[in-house]
Chains A and B, each alone.
Chain A
Amino acid sequence: MLELELRHRAGDLDLDLRFSTQARTLGLFGPSGAGKSSVLNAIAGLLEPDHGRIALDGDIVLDSAAGIRVPTAQRRIGYVFQDGRLFPHLSVRHNLLYGAGAQHESRREFETIVDLLELGSLLERRPQTLSGGERQRVAVGRALLSRPRALLLDEPLTGLHAEARQQVLDYLQRLKRELQVFTVLVTHHADEVAALADEVVRISAGRLVRQVPIAEFIARRAAFAPATATR
């Protein structure tokens, strides 16, 4: 569950948003420059808004009025960046383990995630030797192994060719089925939202335009079409 209230101005960005959701997977949908990634950065603590209040499962991670700001490292947010941001000097195994604890349970989780994302054959490789799709799978695995209470996916399929895109999308759908992690998916592609989200928040120019269940989004996709960048 996410409750979010944000106001932030910086350069061209003028963010003024307020919404809450109980959905398991929220699609944050809108055109480029709408402020979607800034919302994710604020949730992760990488952006300190001018004013804001963010609560995850009832726990306040940011309340600027009350002077509360939980540091990023303590928010337990799994963030999958658009460019993966794998550590180039570490093997896939060590990338995956970076945010994982040392306990026995972590080893079991490691094996589960490696199996789920079929990363077994990649473990000893360096990120530079991976394809774009493999890189994103590792980034997703790494984020999940940090035991996040929220998984943030920032355009995870952008830049991938059609086959890799479909492959990563399949893995994300599988994760959604098998793991119960609250997820926010940022994208400007309606088909990705339709494939993964339970609820959709459409934003434009930093403002909330509409918040609808996925069924309504799919049924009235045409109404959302103007926000969708052509692929």
Chain B
Amino acid sequence: MTLLAPDEWQALALSLRVGVLSVVFALPFALALAWLLSRKRFPGRLLLESILFLPLILPPVVTGYALLALFGRHGPLGELLGTFGIVVAFRWTGAVIAAAVMGFPLLVLSIRAAFDNVDRRLEAAAETLGAGAWRRFATIVLPLSLRGIVAGCVLGFARAFGEFGATISFVSNIPGETRTLPIAIYELLNVPGGMPGVRRLAIVSLLVAFGASACATLVAGGAPWRRRSDA
């Protein structure tokens, strides 16, 4: 197979793995936070929202540095995980954490918008039918916002797939371990004769990004029941 060199396949596979796992890892937290922001008013809500948006606004390298400070060997969380024999800095698992943190705001924003769009009166109707909070969430809110959640996951994946700054700061550029596709492109850009590889990986990135964007658009295009009723 000559489409990509072995180390390029490795970088692609790692990026796909990091993209998928970062979404899987972030999704439960994103669902909880999105629900909280959509449904509850509480002190400190504004502060929480500001913190949530930080990864979108901060230079990714700074986020990566913050992650290193937290999860590094001498960081508070790094030390804690170290007692269980878990090391994430300079490991592919660290790349998952970096990607999850960077994609988290997009995930939360999409899911929150989906939750906001669920007709609260339907939840009230479910409540009168004896449904408690969990049942209402599982049977009304989740299914009615499923498309927004899936669209958010696709966007989160796409963000994670393309993550560069935070990843290279946090887990560096270790071939086979933390060299994701964008890092491989960066590496090739700095190597004489690396341009053909850059082009190949850039095309792969473009295809993945286009696929993710098309998926998100298709999925978020509207629930079939809404489309039918609008017709």
A residues whose Cβ falls under 8 Å from a Cβ of B: 44-46, 71-79, 81, 83, 85, 87-89, 98-99, 126, 128-129, 142-143, 146
Contact = CB atoms under 8 A, between A and B. Distances in A.
Chain A interface helix/strand/loop/mixed: loop
Contacts of A99: 128-131
Contact of A85 (B121, B131, B228): B121
A98 B229 CA distance: 22
B140 to A, nearest CB: 7
B128 A44 contact: yes
Contacts of A128: 225, 228-229
B10 to A, nearest CB: 42
B187 interface: no
B128 A87 contact: no
Given A88-B225, A128-B228, A128-B229, A146 B121 contact: no
A73 B223 contact: no
B130 A73 contact: yes
- Report the contact-size class of chain B (Cβ under 8 Å from the partner): 20 to 34
Contact of B122 (A71, A72, A79, A87): A87
Interface in B110-148: 119, 121-122, 124-132, 139-140, 143-144
A76 B126 CA distance: 12
Given A98-B126, A98-B131, A81 B228 contact: no
A78 B128 contact: yes
A211 B204 CA distance: 76
A96 B160 CA distance: 43
A148 B124 CA distance: 16
A182 to B, nearest CB: 15
Contacts of B126: 87, 98
A146 B130 contact: yes
Contact of B225 (A44, A72, A81, A126): A126
A46 B225 CA distance: 27
B132 A73 contact: yes
A152 to B, nearest CB: 8
A81 B121 contact: yes
Contacts of A146: 128-130
B41 to A, nearest CB: 15
A142 B144 contact: no
- Pick the 10 closest A-B CB pairs, nearest first: A99-B129, A85-B125, A128-B229, A79-B128, A72-B127, A88-B225, A146-B129, A89-B143, A73-B132, A73-B130
Given A89-B143, A128-B229, A129-B228, A73 B121 contact: no
Given A46-B124, A89-B223, A129-B228, A76 B130 contact: yes
A73 B144 contact: no
A134 to B, nearest CB: 14
Contact of B131 (A73, A75, A77, A78): A73
A88 B131 CA distance: 17
